[in-house]
């Protein structure tokens, strides 16, 4: 009689060192990307529906014909290579507290708008700073001074040097990013009259940060899944021996 074939016990599958190292790399990178995606998602919950974070409010109450402020150009820092339109958007918000008047807000380069500013009476900060970064914005105005005495010779909306403008009897808003040179921000009554009472605020958002969670979350999960698949051990088929 022929001996019955015996089946060898399957050996425990082995995972190569290369697969272990590669799986570890996928786990680490996947975890970091997933964590970054979760963090950005949580931070984005503190912004409004458009993704803006808002500064403190500064109250304007001037007897002059305009409130103006110089703004230096925006610096993109280490993320400038992404393009300014992708890393920063600034919203200027002016809430009118005198409902009998319509407000005009305008934005121009200092080179183009300075002559108009000097032609009539304006209130201007002697020192002020504006600071924006992801999920944070700040306005700080120390003291102001009134310069000039004359009323404006022409209404603000008739000027052609504006880069962005807005008019409203309630809340005037405009979106603009100061680039390449210094700019000047005007707040006036549309009819050119004196006495302006309003609250001003800056909103800031970084468009790229609203998109990154949509990329990081699925990418991190995919990398973790790849790491798990690399750790899975292949089962050896049992071999028959005579």
SS3 sequence, 76-95? CHHHHHHCHHHHCEEEEEEE
Residue 77 lies in a domain: yes
Residues 155 and 218 in one domain: no
Residue 172 lies in a domain: yes
Residues 96 and 130 in one domain: yes
Q: Which residues, 6+ apart, have CB-to-CB distance to 47 below 8 Å?
A: 53, 135, 205
- Is pLDDT above 90 for 17? no
What is the C-alpha to C-alpha distance for residues 8 and 80, in angstroms, rounded to an integer? 64
- Report pLDDT digits (tens) over 158-189: 999 999 999 999 999 998 877 778 899 999 99
Cα pseudo-dihedral 139, 145, 149, 150, rounded to 10: -10
Domain that holds residue 237: 6-44+213-241
Tell me the pTM.
0.75
Residue 107 lies in a domain: yes
Residues 32 and 67 in one domain: no
Residue 78 lies in a domain: yes
In what helix (H) or strand (E) does residue 123 lie, and over which residues does it extend?
Answer: strand 122-125
Residues 152 and 222 in one domain: no
Residues 40 and 57 in one domain: no
Residues 195 and 225 in one domain: no
pLDDT above 90 coverage of the chain, percent = 51
In what helix (H) or strand (E) does residue 130 lie, and over which residues does it extend?
Answer: strand 128-133
Burial group, residue 113, by CB count within 10 angstroms (0-12, 13-18, 19+) = buried
Total domains in the chain come to: 2
Q: Which residues, 6+ apart, have CB-to-CB distance to 138 below 8 Å?
A: 55, 56, 129, 130, 131, 132
Q: What is the CATH number of the domain that holds 186?
A: 2.60.120.380
Residues 146 and 65 in one domain: yes
| Cα angle value 69/71/73 (rounded, 5°) | 170
In what helix (H) or strand (E) does residue 109 lie, and over which residues does it extend?
Answer: strand 103-109
Residue 1 lies in a domain: no
Q: Say if strands 183-189 and 6-7 run parallel, antiparallel, or are unpaired.
A: unpaired
Residue 11 lies in a domain: yes
Residue 81 lies in a domain: yes
| Cα angle value 235/239/242 (rounded, 5°) | 170
- Report pLDDT digits (tens) over 54-86: 999 999 999 999 999 988 776 655 566 666 677
Residue 10 lies in a domain: yes
What Rg do the C-alpha atoms of the chain give, in angstroms?
31
Residues 102 and 219 in one domain: no
Band of residue 13 on the pLDDT scale cut at 50, 70, 90 = low
Residues 74 and 10 in one domain: no
Band of residue 236 on the pLDDT scale cut at 50, 70, 90 = very low
- Cβ(136)–Cβ(152) under 8 Å? no
pLDDT above 70 coverage of the chain, percent = 85
* Nearest to 237, CA basis, from 69, 76, 9: 9
Mean pLDDT across the chain, nearest whole number? 85
Residues 109 and 10 in one domain: no
């Amino acid at each position: 009689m022929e001996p019955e074939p015996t089946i060898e016990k399957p050996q425990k599958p082995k995972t190569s060192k290369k697969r272990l190292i590669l799986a570890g790399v996928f786990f680490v990178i996947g975890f970091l990307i997933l964590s970054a995606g979760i963090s950005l998602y949580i931070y984005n919950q503190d912004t409004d529906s458009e993704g803006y974070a808002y500064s403190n409010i500064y109250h304007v109450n001037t007897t002059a014909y305009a409130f103006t402020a110089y703004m230096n150009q925006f610096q993109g820092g280490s993320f400038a290579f992404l393009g300014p339109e992708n890393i920063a958007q600034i919203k200027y918000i002016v809430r009118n507290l005198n409902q009998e008047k319509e407000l005009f807000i305008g934005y121009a380069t200092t080179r183009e708008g300075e002559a108009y500013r000097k032609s009539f009476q304006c209130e201007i900060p002697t020192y002020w700073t504006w600071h924006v970064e992801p999920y944070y914005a700040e306005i700080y105005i120390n003291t102001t001074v009134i310069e000039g005495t004359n009323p404006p010779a022409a209404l603000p909306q008739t000027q052609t040097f504006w880069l962005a403008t807005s008019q409203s009897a309630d809340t005037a808003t405009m979106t603009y990013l100061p680039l390449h040179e210094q700019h000047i921000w005007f707040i006036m009554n549309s009819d050119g009259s004196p006495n302006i009472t309003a609250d001003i605020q800056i909103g800031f958002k970084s468009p790229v940060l609203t998109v990154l969670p949509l990329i990081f979350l699925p990418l991190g999960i995919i990398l973790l899944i790849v790491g798990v698949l690399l750790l899975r051990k292949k089962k050896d088929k049992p071999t028959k021996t005579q």
